[in-house]
């Protein structure tokens, strides 16, 4: 028996297009043979004994569904002979060819505003296309304890039509959940910080008295 273990690395998420296993081998006498590929278990590719040394290739594409399996791919050549003496398995080399489409992590900043020369997030195009289909998209982001928006968080606020901030702030000796509308395009929205509670019927805002709201607006 002779075996081979793949040592290359294919980026996870890549699409496997074709896997070909080539083995240059022969046996001294026809008996029981097998060329196997390992994808978590050994799968037989061909059971023909080759008595003439040559390079024989086998299609293993259907047995390698993804990059994770491809990175752990193994090949085994097995030869079982009878009671005779002198039978030999000869393997010169094993060659595995894997063609794949490399997975590239999406880059938010891969478009350019030709007027200003500045980068445009492709997320803006995505949300615009969804909006044209009548789809409402909800994006969620976490913010730092300081409340600043950096990186992807700032990107989300840039492309969104509305931004609703949920917070957990100290009030007296307790913490209180609050809701604030920080952005709502084309809408004269509330600028108050609204306490809310989770109830059996869902989220419920704590109502403000009109007088308290008017006092809150004064400097």
pLDDT of res. 61: 95
Instruction: Identify how many contiguous H helices and E strands the chain contains and give both numbers.
Output: 4, 13
More confident position, 81 or 92 = 92
For residue 4, what pLDDT band results from cuts at 50, 70 and 90? low
Cα distance between residue 80 and residue 76, in whole Å: 13
Among 89, 93, 94, 92, which Cα is nearest to 31's? 89
Query: Which two three-digit tokens encode residue 145?
Result: 């304890």
Query: Which two three-digit tokens encode residue 33?
Result: 């043979």
2-101 fold: Jelly Rolls (2.60.120)
Nearest-10 Cα torsion for 156, 157, 162, 168 = 100
What average pLDDT does range 59-71 have in this prediction? 92
User: Given this chain, do its domains 2-101 and 111-217 carry the same CATH topology?
Assistant: no
CATH, domain 111-217, list 3.40.50.300, 3.30.360.10, 3.40.50.1000, 1.20.120.1770: 3.40.50.300
Among 187, 196, 193, 184, which Cα is nearest to 213's? 193
pLDDT of res. 63: 94
- Beta-carbon neighbour count of residue 39 at 10 Å? 20
pLDDT of res. 104: 67
So where are the chain's domains?
Answer: 2-101, 111-217
Among 215, 210, 141, 152, which Cα is nearest to 182's? 141
What percent of the chain stands above pLDDT 90? Answer: 25
pLDDT of res. 1: 60
For residue 124, what pLDDT band results from cuts at 50, 70 and 90? low
Average pLDDT, the chain: 79
pLDDT of res. 216: 44
pLDDT tens digits, 10-57: 888 889 999 999 999 999 888 889 999 998 899 999 999 999 999 999
More confident position, 212 or 186 = 186
Q: Please state which of the ranges 100-104, 133-137, 160-164, 206-210 shows the lowest mean pLDDT.
A: 206-210
Q: Report the DSSP beta bridge partners of residue 167.
A: 178
For residue 219, what pLDDT band results from cuts at 50, 70 and 90? very low
Cα distance between residue 54 and residue 86, in whole Å: 20
């Amino acid at each position: 028996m002779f075996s081979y273990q793949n040592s290359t690395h294919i980026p996870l998420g890549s699409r496997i297009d074709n896997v070909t296993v080539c083995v240059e081998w022969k046996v001294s006498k026809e008996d029981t043979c097998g060329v196997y590929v390992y994808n978590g278990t050994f799968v037989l590719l061909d059971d023909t004994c080759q008595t003439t040394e040559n390079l024989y290739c086998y299609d293993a594409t259907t047995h390698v569904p993804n990059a994770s399996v491809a990175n752990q791919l193994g090949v085994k050549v097995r030869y079982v002979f009878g009671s005779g003496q002198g039978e030999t398995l000869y393997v010169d080399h094993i060659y595995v060819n894997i063609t794949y489409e490399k997975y590239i992590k999406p880059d938010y900043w891969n478009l350019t505003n030709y007027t200003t020369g500045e980068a445009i997030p492709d997320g803006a195009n995505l949300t615009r296309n969804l909006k044209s289909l009548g789809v409402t998209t909800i994006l969620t982001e976490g913010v730092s304890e300081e409340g600043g928006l950096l990186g992807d968080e700032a990107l989300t606020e840039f492309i969104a039509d509305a931004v609703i901030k949920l917070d957990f702030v100290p009030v007296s000796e307790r913490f209180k959940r609050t809701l604030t509308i920080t952005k709502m395009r084309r809408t004269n929205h509330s600028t108050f910080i609204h306490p809310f509670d989770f109830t059996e019927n869902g989220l419920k805002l704590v109502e403000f008295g009109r007088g308290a709201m008017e006092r809150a607006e004064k400097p």
